[in-house]
Amino acid sequence: MQQNKTVDVEERHVEKKSDSSLVASTFIKYAAYLIIFFGVLYFLVAYVFPMF
The pLDDT tens digits of the residues spanning 19-43 come to 888 999 999 999 999 999 999 999 9
Q: What is the CA radius of gyration of the chain?
A: 29
- H or E, element range at 35: helix 20-43
Question: Looking at residue 36, what is its pLDDT?
Answer: 98
Question: Residue 7 carries which side chain, given as an amino acid letter?
Answer: V
Question: Looking at residue 38, what is its pLDDT?
Answer: 98
Interval 6-23 mean pLDDT: 82
